[in-house]
Amino acid sequence: MKKIVCIWTVLFCALISVRSNEISLKNAIDSAIANNQTIKNQRLLVEYRETLKRAGYTVEQAVLSVDYGQINSVYSDTKMSLTQRYQFPTVYSKQQSLLNEEWNAAILSKDVSIAQLKKTVSDIYHAILILRRKEHILLEADSMYREYVRISRVRLEKGESNILENSFHEIERGSIQMQLQELKNALRIHELQFQLLLNTSQQYTPASIDLEHNSQIFEQSDIALHPLLRQGRQSIEIAKAQQELEQSRFLPDILIGISNHSIQGVGADDVLYPASRRFNSFSIGIGIPHPFGSQSAIIEASKTAVKISEYEYDYALKKHQSELQSALNGRDSVISMMQSMKKMQLPIIEKVRNAANVQYTSGEITYLEWTMAMHQTMTIQTQYLQLLQTYHELTNTINYLQQQ
């Protein structure tokens, strides 16, 4: 009695442990977003760009100079000057605009990564659940073939069967076990990928959900609001801001200076001035841009960069529209095929198996006919699961392409 209680306790604890490690799709996505290192780095990049926005009005260093020598006469005089160079105010405003656009681009880059991560997690999540159902089918087949191997051996010992039939049973079961091993390896790889995406210390496994397709109708949304396309438009804005900045550099710089110096000897007013007497002066000047210098080439290159960004955006928009329409059409086609299988083929699988088992046991059909019947039912189930997986992949793709 104590042994039975202990066994049930262990099984109950194991069941509780498994369920405690299960995670819903929404929680899995939230965990992946919170712990993804790339997204963390992109959040830091957003902070970096936000801080850098304050650098738009950076002014060049002031120049302090000291002169000593025969500046005004044979006497040695001293002169101290402080000069500041300013770019034209328009240049600073254009620099600020460029930094603002780069900050917006950093935010969109993070949003693109989040959208792509959601799709990846959803794909892996559903793939694991589909693999589990395939594993269940193969385990049932393995159990069935194991029983028929046992029966075949008994019949062989009684002389009711031959070595060829017995060998066929052994070969078929071996084939099923190989498929089962390959599937378990694939399932393990997907589980490792799932754990890597979640990036948590605790091992999680997808919670079982209803995988059957639903009649969800996707509402038409403005795909131009997708983060990837908004990022493309932002690239255009950055290129334009860069062009405007380069064009503003043709505006003249402004120089302002102040100096303090001595003038020893007799001044213009016929007064003798000693070295201790100081005089102040003020200067102002403008820089003269070179219209035929390298800046002209930089401006032409920036115009080309704007065109490149516009072409890339147009192509990305057309590609996005094509991928979305293709996914919608593909999903409708898959749903149609799944509905057909559920109506015509799936309901008779169990009937075919039971009839084949009864007729084979009674000797009405040969082993070859029984094997063909079993293979056919497994093929139908596998094809349906493959359609189900394709359905979820296309649904995840549509959700991704319509994210805003």
Q: Domain segments of the chain: what residues?
A: 21-55+87-251+289-401, 62-86+252-288
Which segment, 53-57, 145-149, 192-196, 400-404, is predicted with the most confidence on average? Answer: 192-196
Measure Cα distances from 351 to 32, 135, 151, 354, 377 in Å.
44, 21, 22, 5, 10
Structure tokens at 105: 């681009």
Confidence at residue 215, expressed as pLDDT on a 0 to 100 scale: 62
Confidence at residue 167, expressed as pLDDT on a 0 to 100 scale: 67
Q: Which residue, among 276, 212, 285, 222, has the nearest Cα to 253 in the 3D structure?
A: 285
Residue 11 has pLDDT above 60, yes or no: no
Confidence at residue 15, expressed as pLDDT on a 0 to 100 scale: 43
Residue 210 has pLDDT above 70, yes or no: yes
Confidence at residue 188, expressed as pLDDT on a 0 to 100 scale: 94
Residue 387 has pLDDT above 50, yes or no: yes
CB 202 within 8 A of CB 268: no
Compute the mean pLDDT over every residue in the chain, rounded to the nearest whole number. 85
Burial zone of 68 (CB within 10 Å; 0-12 exposed, 13-18 middle, 19+ buried): exposed
User: Percent of the chain, pLDDT > 70?
Assistant: 88
Confidence at residue 17, expressed as pLDDT on a 0 to 100 scale: 43
- pLDDT per position as a tens digit, 59-103: 888 999 999 888 888 888 889 999 999 998 999 999 999 999 999
- pLDDT per position as a tens digit, 297-338: 888 999 999 999 999 999 999 999 999 999 999 999 999 999
Confidence at residue 277, expressed as pLDDT on a 0 to 100 scale: 87
pLDDT band at 40 (very low <50, low <70, confident <90, very high): very high
Confidence at residue 2, expressed as pLDDT on a 0 to 100 scale: 45
Residue 3 has pLDDT above 80, yes or no: no
CA distance 321 to 316: 9
In CATH terms, the fold of domain 21-55+87-251+289-401 is Outer membrane efflux proteins (OEP) (1.20.1600)
- pLDDT per position as a tens digit, 240-267: 999 999 999 888 999 999 999 888 888 7
For 277-299, b/e burial (b = at least 16 CB within 10 A) is eeeeeeeeeeeeeeeeeeeeeeb
CA distance 251 to 289: 7
User: Percent of the chain, pLDDT > 90?
Assistant: 49
CA distance 402 to 404: 6
Bridge pairing between strands 77-86 and 265-266: unpaired
Confidence at residue 114, expressed as pLDDT on a 0 to 100 scale: 94
Confidence at residue 4, expressed as pLDDT on a 0 to 100 scale: 47
CB 284 within 8 A of CB 84: no
Residue 126 has pLDDT above 70, yes or no: yes
Confidence at residue 193, expressed as pLDDT on a 0 to 100 scale: 94
The CA-to-CA distance between both ends of the chain, in Å, stands at: 61
